[in-house]
Amino acid sequence: MDLATKLVELEKRTAQHRELLLTEEAAKTALVLPLLQALGYDVFNPGEIIPEFTADVGIKKGEKVDYAIAIDGKLTMLIECKPSSMDLDLKHASQLFRYFSTTDVRIAVLTNGVTYQFYSDIDQPNKMDDKPFFIFNMDAIRRTDPPILERFKKSSFNIDEIIAEAGRLKLQSLLRVELEREFAQPSEEFVRLMASRVQQGRLTAAAREQLANILGLSIASLIRDKVNDRLTSALNVANPSPQPIEAGQSDDPSIGDGVITSEEEIAGFRIIQAIAARHVDPSRVVIRDSKSYCAILLDDNNRKTLARLHFNSPTTRYVGTFTDKDETRHAVTAPIDIYKLEDQILARIKELGG
Helix (H, G, I), strand (E, B) or coil at 337: helix
| Radius of gyration from C-alpha coordinates of the chain | 25
Do 126 and 249 lie in one domain? The reply is no
Do 7 and 105 lie in one domain? The reply is yes
Please tell me the predicted confidence (pLDDT) of residue 198.
Answer: 85
Stretch among 146-160, 237-251, 302-316, 321-335 having the lowest mean pLDDT: 237-251
Which residues, including other chains, have CB under 8 Å from residue 319's CB and lie 6 or more apart? Answer: 268, 307, 308, 309, 310, 329, 330, 332, 337, 338, 341
Top mean-pLDDT range of 159-163, 177-181, 275-279:
159-163
Do 233 and 173 lie in one domain? The reply is no
Structure confidence at residue 210 as a pLDDT band (50, 70, 90): confident
How many structural domains does the chain have?
2
Q: Examine residue 94 and state whether it is found in any structural domain, yes or no.
A: yes
- Residue 204 confidence (pLDDT) above 70: yes
Segment 45-54 long-range contacts (CB within 8 Å, at least 24 positions apart):
47/73, 48/154, 53/78, 53/99
Do 243 and 139 lie in one domain? The reply is no
E strand or H helix at 49: strand 49-53
Do 174 and 235 lie in one domain? The reply is no
Q: Examine residue 206 and state whether it is found in any structural domain, yes or no.
A: no
Q: What is the span of the domain harbouring residue 130?
A: 3-179
Do 169 and 261 lie in one domain? The reply is no
Structure confidence at residue 27 as a pLDDT band (50, 70, 90): confident
Structure confidence at residue 234 as a pLDDT band (50, 70, 90): low
pTM score of the predicted model = 0.58
Please tell me the predicted confidence (pLDDT) of residue 253.
Answer: 40
Q: Examine residue 193 and state whether it is found in any structural domain, yes or no.
A: no
